[in-house]
Amino acid sequence: REAKALTAVAGGLLANVPPSEALLAKDRRAIGVPIATAIALPPVLCAALAVWRGVQTRRDADPLRRRAGAAKSVAMQRLGTSPESILTAVCGFIADRCGLPDGTRTRGDAVTALRARRVDAELVQRVETLLAACERSRYAPRGDEKISTDEATTLINALGRVDLLTTKSTKERAA
């Protein structure tokens, strides 16, 4: 075997091959968009999941929000064709959405709660007309034409789009 001569370089180091341009080149490759996305996606998804779970937990911890969230399905289960079931369903829906105590499920309580929350006057009038007709039918059942399951469903859907838990007084207390 042939002995190779070592070359002395700066700093007292010995090298058997002089440094070449290929050895000294700083060749770094960019990771690219697909790899960067694959690396960044799991933490972003975990953060989004954590935020979503936090919102769900906070919402579920509030019994009024939980009751208000289930109000429509409960009302639709109660809703029947009889005026009594319509009255019970609509008054119960309003009480649940407004966070009223369980004993406040009368026409007067429902209309007062809607007015206190500044619901559109025409919508309140439609609710009051339907509930009054249902109450009248208790004492004089004659097939009142103002009583309609379709109207009750329409009113429940319309009231479902209004935030009935937020009132001016609760906003003022929070401020």
Instruction: Provide DSSP, 53-76.
Output: HHHHHHHHH-HHHHHHHHHHHHHH
Cα atoms in the 13 Å half-sphere on the side-chain side of 174: 6
Q: What is the pLDDT of residue 168?
A: 45
- How high is the mean pLDDT of the chain? 80
Say what the pTM is. Answer: 0.60
Task: Give pLDDT tens digits for 60-97.
Answer: 777 777 778 788 888 888 888 888 888 889 988 898 88
Helices and strands of the chain, counted as H and E runs: 8, 2
Geometric angle at alpha carbon 8, from 3 and 13, rounded to 5°: 105
d(CA 1, CA 86): 105
Max Cα-Cα span within the chain: 122
